[in-house]
Chains A and B, each alone.
Chain A
Amino acid sequence: MANVQDSGLSMLERFREVNRTFPRNRELVEWRDRGGKVFGWLCTYVPEEVIHAAGVLPIRIVGYSQETDLDDGNAYMYVNNCSFSRSCLQLGLRGEYDFLDGVVGGSTCDGARRLFDLWRQYVRTPFHHVLTVPRKYTDRAHMLYHCEVLEFKQHLEEYLGLKITEEALYHSILLYNESRELLRKLYDLRKQEKPPISGAETMEVLNASFRMPKEVFNQWLADLLDEASRSERKSSGRVRLMLVGSVLTNADFVRFIEDQGGMVVTDELCTSTRYWGDPVVLDSGLSLTEAISRRYLNNFPCARMFPSEERFDRIIQAALGFRVDGVVSQTIRYCVPYAHDLPLLEKRLRECGIPMLALDIEYGTSGSGQIKTRVQAFIEMLEAKRR
């Protein structure tokens, strides 16, 4: 367990068990045994609350947790698409997501939209829906996205033969906001000089959050927070790091960085901060669906959004808030949105005096010799700078 003293945090085991056994984890199996439907979503712009309010369990579709041969993914998607989308598709093609009753995507990036297209053609999950996600934050863009959320809600209602009530939506918003608040508290712990929980462990918690009902997850997370805040554990990492870039779910990669002496204290990943980042704000002037759509479009932005300055500003805010010494960017090969942002992000960070290390990786990697050397050199440079 990275560079955090190995005592305590028994609560972490529950989350690890979910990840280890997914999709046969008890919480999911029990849900399905009770006749519950499960929908998979492909990207953080899909409003989970709407699915949940329809009585369906939303889970996130991700790829293999480790780097692996992607023969089927390559054959169907070609090698020049990001390994995340190829990895997800391969799992779908091999029947690992056959339990899904629906799949929901967004027009977020080429990888994600083609994953949706091919999933629809070859995996044939019964229900599918894709939302247009505008790239801007203008009033018109918000109106458009709200229409998209309403259309999605209507499609769900028609397909499931039910009405998504205001009460159900309200309840789902509160439930998901509670998760966000708990995750924010988890991240706050990492603002400490020597955090009691590592970046890798935090990722394990987040991975589980996509794979189980939030009702149970929230309870578990509250327990973990309680345990962590009372524990004596302290990270022994020498420099504070922030992780940015493409989608990342392999906690071993974070552990690998922490093993070199870094403390990953925050991130901007769509599987971490960008997932739980902002709450749905219930404002008396907005309908519930408007409140939801606003939250999703205004959330900590993906590199696909314009202007990129919004993303850069949020990264810098987080970097300062968590007092990081440096930023590690990891771009999955062929992840074009993040690759395009790199020169500009590097410049912005430099202007703020924050050094950045840019790594090209494949989805699922746990690190390699060459990456190790570069991470070590980066950490040494940051240490020297600190002195």
Chain B
Amino acid sequence: MTSQMTENKLSVIIRACRLVRRMLRADPEARRSQLMYYSMLEEYFARILRAKEEGGFLVGHTVFFPAEIIYAMGLVPMHTETATWTMALFTGDCSDILASGARLGMAQEICTPHRGLTGAFASGALPHPDVMLWSNMVCDNTAKSGELIMEVCHCPGFLLDRPFKRSQHEIGYLVSELEDMICFLEERSGRKMDWDKLSEIVARMDRQIELVRQINELRKNVPTPFRPQGFLELLTVDYLFPGQPEALEYLETLHQELTEAVREGRGAVKPERFRLMTFFIPPMYLMGFLDRMSRQFGAVSVIEPFFTYWGEGRLEASRPLESVAMKSYMIPEMRMYGPLDERALNAIVQCVDDYKVDGAIYYADVGCRHSCATIKLFKDILAEKGVPTLVVDCDVVDSTVTPEDEVREKLEQFFELLEER
């Protein structure tokens, strides 16, 4: 029964990826990078299925976790929150896994990616990992998620404790945490860390970050060449394929496509009317709808300061572990963890100017406390720059929270307001 359900949920994702690829092949306007993206996704989830079937070692891990280490050891990573989002994206309904989380006694306060995730493990909708890794990047939900998962999946686990600030002693602590984690993985999996491979991965990751920076440079153009919600692809590629050859291939292809579009003056939406800044993740089950709305109104997300706007710094292949630690300070989302000081806040101001932003949309996820607590602050900063912010109350995964009509109405009013300005 359990393995049957497991089959089903992952198979649903895999089948959906195949379907999207078929549709894209039939669409003359589809980009080659889009096709690549969906085959990468398909392969990612197929590999998880195969790992269970063929005796591979499956490592569950939470968001922003340095999966470079898992790849370098030849183990199979499973990004747990992305698995939940992807289920929401492709099935549109996560009520079963959320109900399963509730049966475990998980309170409503726990964000749906995590309630759904543990629920998915409990109901067998996701395969049980051999070990669970989690960290306090970027919130209490990630920090507190691991122990119940260990209990539900009967597997051992490791919490990677990422310090809050970035002094030398804190970075040193993180490196020692990574060392401990590698020992833990070696012990549990019987595999050794391949340091050469980690160096190669770090070198590719550095290139990956550079490519995202270059892609963002292209997005500054008017009209902007990248799809309205295309940034989700950039996120997912970073989450699932850090330092992997397929990620580079995808980003290089995308970069080429966007360069060409810029050269030809082709915008992602025609005509481009509103250049938006996006905060947090739009509800997955509304992605198709949001895409249609964006095209209808000529609205496009040109920058996401806390998702695609990488911090300064380079990774060094000769210092792989230190680089993995440093990366956790460069990840755009990690500006939300750590003191919200000028360094974090200036990114917003800089983006408004550089990307010629007309308005901002903040997807206020009801379960995501630490991000929602920044809404007023970000809104005030943007207002000072003359940029209005629309706040859309929603939930990334739970489709019962905000109906499509409500979002439509809010967006229409917001676009009207932008138009008047």
Contacts and interface: CB of A to CB of B under 8 A. Distances in A.
Given A140-B176, A333-B109, A114 B374 contact: yes
B140 A342 contact: no
A246 to B, nearest CB: 11
A133 B173 CA distance: 12
A80 B58 CA distance: 34
A116 B337 CA distance: 13
A340 B173 contact: no
A114 B131 CA distance: 32
B270 interface: no
A343 B106 contact: yes
Contacts of A341: 144
Contacts of A76: 376-377
B145 A340 contact: yes
A75 interface: yes
Nearest to B344: A117
B92 interface: no
B369 A111 contact: yes
B140 A336 contact: yes
B159 interface: yes
Interface string B122-147: 00000000000000100111011101
Interface in A132-155: 132-136, 138, 140-141, 143-144, 147, 151
B339 A130 contact: yes
A30 interface: no
Given A134-B161, A304-B143, A341-B144, A80 B107 contact: no
A76 B379 CA distance: 10
B147 A114 contact: no
Task: Give the interface centre of A75, A130, A306 by most chain B CB atoms within 10 Å.
Answer: A306
A76 B380 CA distance: 10
Contacts of B140: 109-110, 304, 336-337, 340
A144 B173 contact: yes
A134 B147 contact: no
B144 A77 contact: no
Interface string A323-346: 000000001011111011111101
Interface in A62-113: 75-78, 80-82, 107, 109-111, 113
A71 B340 CA distance: 23
B107 A141 contact: no
Contacts of B176: 140
A306 B161 contact: yes
A141 B139 CA distance: 19
Contact of A335 (B105, B109, B147, B161): B109
B2 to A, nearest CB: 20
Contact of B147 (A78, A113, A344): A344
Contact of B373 (A77, A132, A307, A333): A77
A210 B174 CA distance: 34
Contacts of B15: none
A197 B140 CA distance: 36
Nearest to A308: B147
A339 B107 CA distance: 6
Given A110-B140, A135-B136, A340-B140, A306 B340 contact: no
Given A134-B163, A304-B143, A346-B105, A141 B377 contact: no
B366 to A, nearest CB: 6
Nearest to B114: A340
A212 interface: no
Contacts of A306: 143, 147, 159, 161
Contacts of A308: 147
A337 B143 CA distance: 8
Contacts of B159: 135-136, 306
Nearest to A343: B105
Given A121-B377, A132-B170, A141 B161 contact: yes
A360 interface: yes
A174 interface: no
A247 B207 CA distance: 46
A118 interface: yes
Contacts of A339: 106-107, 109-110
Contacts of A307: 147
A120 B341 CA distance: 9
B372 A81 contact: yes
Contacts of B104: 343
Interface in A115-132: 116-118, 120-121, 130, 132
Nearest to A139: B176
B144 A336 contact: yes
A225 interface: no
A135 B143 CA distance: 9
Interface in B366-391: 366-370, 372-377
A303 interface: yes
B48 interface: no
A144 B105 contact: no
Nearest to A341: B144
A369 to B, nearest CB: 21
Contacts of B151: 344
A75 to B, nearest CB: 6
Contacts of A151: 167
B173 A336 contact: no
A315 to B, nearest CB: 15
B148 A343 contact: yes
A303 B110 CA distance: 14
B295 to A, nearest CB: 30
A139 to B, nearest CB: 9
B369 A144 contact: no
Given A81-B372, A135-B143, A344-B147, A144 B109 contact: no
The 5 closest A-B pairs by CB, nearest first: A107-B164, A340-B144, A343-B105, A114-B373, A78-B372
Interface of B: 104-107, 109-110, 136, 139-141, 143-145, 147-148, 151, 159, 161, 163-165, 167, 169-170, 173, 176-177, 180, 339-340, 364, 366-370, 372-377
Interface of A: 75-78, 80-82, 107, 109-111, 113-114, 116-118, 120-121, 130, 132-136, 138, 140-141, 143-144, 147, 151, 303-304, 306-308, 331, 333-337, 339-344, 346, 360
Given A136-B159, A138-B180, A343-B106, 13 more contacts: A78-B375, A110-B140, A118-B376, A120-B339, A134-B163, A135-B159, A306-B143, A331-B107, A337-B144, A339-B106, A339-B110, A343-B105, A344-B151
30 contacts: A76-B377, A78-B373, A80-B366, A81-B369, A110-B140, A114-B340, A116-B339, A121-B340, A132-B164, A134-B161, A134-B163, A134-B173, A140-B173, A141-B173, A144-B173, A304-B140, A306-B161, A334-B369, A336-B110, A336-B139, A336-B369, A337-B140, A340-B140, A340-B141, A340-B148, A341-B144, A342-B105, A343-B104, A343-B105, A360-B107
